Amino acid sequence: MGARPVVWASVSCVAALLLTGCSGVRQDAVTRSAAAFTAAVAAGNAGAACAQLTPATRAELEWRFSAPCAAALGELRLPVGTGPVAAVSVWGGSAQVRLADDTLFLSETAGGWKVAAAGCQEQGEAPYRCELEGP
Looking at residue 9, its pLDDT comes to 36
Query: May I ask the CATH class of domain 25-133?
Result: alpha beta
What are the boundaries of each domain within the chain? 25-133
Task: Name the residue type at position 67.
Answer: A
Looking at residue 41, its pLDDT comes to 92
pTM score: 0.79
Task: Name the residue type at position 129.
Answer: R
Looking at residue 1, its pLDDT comes to 53
Q: Residues for the chain: how many in total?
A: 135
| Closest-CA residue to 54 (of 83, 80, 33, 74) | 33
N- to C-terminal Cα separation, the chain: 56
pLDDT < 50 positions in the chain? 5-22
